[in-house]
Amino acid sequence: MSGWAVFGEAALVLIGGGIVGLFYRGLDRKIAARMQARVGPPIRQPFLDLGKLLVKETVIPKTAVTWIFSAMPFLAVLASFTALLYLPLGPFPPVLDGHGDAILVLYLLAVPALAMALGGLASGSPLGVVGAQRELVMLMSYEFPLAVVLVAVAWRVAVLGFSPAFSLGTIAMHPLWTVVGPLGILGLAILCLTLLVVTPAELAKIPFDIPEAETEIAGGLFAEYSGTYLALFYLADAVRTVVLAGLVVALFLPYGIAKTLGLAGAAAQAVDLLFWLFKVFAVMVVAVTTVRVGMARLRVEQVARGFWLWGTAAALGGLLLLALDKVVMG
């Protein structure tokens, strides 16, 4: 593929990812409202919010470290959109397949959280500093279970002889559910559940919205952000939601339906792409919307203890079951 073709494909994915992320955010708010017996905002509301923020004045506090405060929103957006390029999109392989793997995606997912924390620390606001401290504690808590899940799945794919094993494209092309035994299926189920629990924490959604906590620290990390900078963080969050839901799909739900329907060619690609979007939406509803409607905010020590003890134990348990399954199955 020529450089211009890759550039065009990347631009299409990035624009589409931003639109899909904002659209899903609107659906999330509408579904959450219906669950709470409210009408809720229109689905287009995130687009309206983003547009309004972009035309508002961007205020930089006098106490802020200006260059860090200004750079962090751009860093968060850049990392979130770059992660999209390593994600298989239904029947289509990652745009940058072969130029990075799941480990790089893991780092890219951590960058927006670090950017928000640095932005909060650089704001000069006590609320921003408290939010940044909470964000960093959460980051150190959920990153290890997330890494174990990725390594466990990639290791099992490598054992089966598929390469490069850490490529999300390779993992999506070789789903494990049908090639492992009972112990392996149980291990995969535990790993999938662990990743679903990590997803709202990675996105700082209720019950893991501790760094923002509007009722406690008035937005925390974003207390001093406004205008274009706040819009960039808003967009980065929407895109990161797509990336995380897409990661769950790539690791555990990579199946298409075109072959089952007897389709081929462009029609098959279109149907499988729509089915991928549906799966991403389903993961978002299960892991984010339902959880934030049904739970209250946790304390930071509860999150840290939960992920370091129970989250890590679950992920390592899933990895152990996959290893035992490999020994049993040969």
3-state secondary structure of 126: helix
Give the pLDDT band (50/70/90) at residue 258: confident
Instruction: Examine the pLDDT at 219 and tell me if it is beyond 70.
Output: no
CA quadruple 229, 233, 28, 200: dihedral sign: negative
Instruction: Examine the pLDDT at 91 and tell me if it is beyond 60.
Output: yes
**In the prediction, which pLDDT does 256 show?**
86
Per-residue pLDDT tens over the stretch 118-145: 998 888 888 888 888 888 888 888 889 9
Long-range contacts of 281-284 (CB under 8 A, 24+ apart): 281/24, 281/27, 281/245, 283/196, 283/199, 283/245, 283/248, 283/249, 283/253, 284/24, 284/27, 284/28, 284/241, 284/245
Residues whose CB is less than 8 angstroms from the CB of residue 271 and which lie 6 or more positions away in sequence, other chains included: 256, 257, 258, 261, 263
pTM over 0.85: yes
154 burial via Cβ count (<10 Å: 0-12, 13-18, 19+): buried
Q: What is the mean pLDDT of residues 152-168?
A: 88
- How many whole angstroms separate alpha carbon 309 and alpha carbon 311? 6
Block residue for tokens 């035992």: 324
Question: Is-contact 329 180, C-beta < 8 A?
Answer: yes
Q: Residue 153: which of 132, 167, 138, 133 has the closest Cα?
A: 167
Angle CA 75–28–141, to nearest 5: 50
Q: What average pLDDT does the structure give for the chain?
A: 88
**In the prediction, which pLDDT does 216 show?**
67
Per-residue pLDDT tens over the stretch 272-328: 999 999 999 999 999 999 988 887 777 888 888 888 889 899 999 999 999 998 888
